[in-house]
Amino acid sequence: MTNLNDCVDPKLVPQRTLRGGDKMPAVGMGTFGSDRFSAKQVAEAVKGAAEVGFRMFDCASVYGNENLIGEVFEEVIKSGIKREELFITSKVWNDMHGKGDVLLSCAQTLKDLRLDYIDLYFVHWPFRNFHPEGAPPDYHSPDARPYNHEEYMETWYQMERLKKAGYVRNIGTSNMTVPKLKLLLRDCTIMPAASEMELHPSFQQPELFNFCLEHGIRPIGFSPIGSPTRPDRDKTDDDVVDIEDAIVVKIAKEHKVHPAVICVKWAVQRGQTPIPFSVYRKEYAGNIRCTIEDPLSDKEMNELGQADKNCRLIKGQVFLWKGAKDWTDLWDINGEIAK
């Protein structure tokens, strides 16, 4: 039988205001099964998450589960939760950039999710490079190429068309860097409302985070717990584990919660919107409850600020092109876009 004692009133969950005025919850539910959890498991978790109080769901066509999640959204809306109370994101995958394809991809997502609009639609990666499902870490597509700004803008203008037509309410970027965002802000007609980026205590990206806030772009933090269940292609020997970090563990003991919960609390109080994933009700219920009770003190927030180890986990090495040095070429580390 369902335990309803773990539910949270969504009205109590902090909200962020996007440019243009839409409200977005300060915590959302991730839906990437990481090649480990089936589409059915993820869809069931979305149903449970809506029940415990989540209203924001981070979807993407490449997660291969939008059709099953769409059935859940339909049920959720039939159960009495209004469409306007939900905040649903999705993303166009790397093989659907450019004229025509962005619109087709969005149309498919709308059909799969059984919606007539998406609240926030992202360009998933700023590259057209992609990999087959379950690709090994050393996989490289022979067609992969470095960032091409003209091509990115071709995609972005299609995103703008979708927004103007009302199929999506807001548009955003994902896996961007400050140099790439500067070019986008120079050339766009419609500014991004949000930017999805990897953010967790051991990878805080202060420069990108602050750049976004200064330009009215809401940071959304993916892999907020340090993605312990991420695909093997995204693991390397020197990766750190956030939920084993000494500062995170110490503060978790003081609050009598799992270290994962401290990662979520830190993210919400810092000002990003984390989108933790879990298929276990106890975990995802904890990930929303922690946003409305027992906040971290300023001292704890400062301590967690010191936990940054500049340790990127989702390095994107499968998107590299022939001739690239290594995964750092994707991230413009010294301020210049790799060619």
Catalytic residues: 63
Nearest Cα residue to 205 out of 231, 227, 178: 178
Residue placing its CB nearer to ligand NAP in the complex, 100 or 171: 171
Dihedral sign for Cα 316, 41, 120, 209, please: negative
Residue placing its CB nearer to ligand NAP in the complex, 31 or 158: 31
Minimal CB distance residue for ligand NAP: 30
Residue 330: DSSP 8-state: G
Rounded-to-integer distance, Cα 194 and Cα 11, Å = 22
Q: What are the residues binding ligand NAP (CB under 6 A)?
A: 30-32, 34, 58, 124, 174-175, 196, 222-230, 258, 260-261, 275-278, 280, 283, 286-287, 314
Residue placing its CB nearer to ligand NAP in the complex, 47 or 80: 47
CB of 128 to ligand NAP, least distance (A): 15
Residue placing its CB nearer to ligand NAP in the complex, 76 or 330: 330
CB of 127 to ligand NAP, least distance (A): 11
Dihedral sign for Cα 66, 72, 76, 79, please: positive
CB of 290 to ligand NAP, least distance (A): 8
* Tokens 């120079």 sit on residue: 186
Residue placing its CB nearer to ligand NAP in the complex, 42 or 324: 42
Are 181 and 173 spatial neighbours (Cβ–Cβ below 8 Å)?
yes
CB of 83 to ligand NAP, least distance (A): 20
Residues in the chain, overall count: 339
Rounded-to-integer distance, Cα 295 and Cα 289, Å = 11
Residue placing its CB nearer to ligand NAP in the complex, 85 or 283: 283
For the chain, report the end-to-end CA distance as a whole number of angstroms. 56
Residue 237, C-beta contacts closer than 8 angstroms, at least 6 positions apart? none
Residue 236, C-beta contacts closer than 8 angstroms, at least 6 positions apart? 315
Environment class of residue 170 by beta-carbon count within 10 Å: exposed (0-12), middle (13-18) or buried (19+)?
A: buried
Q: How far is CA 119 from CA 145, 274, 287, 326, in A?
A: 31, 17, 22, 35
Task: Give, for 91, the enclosing helix (H) or strand (E).
Answer: strand 87-92
| Structure token digits, residue 264 | 């979520």
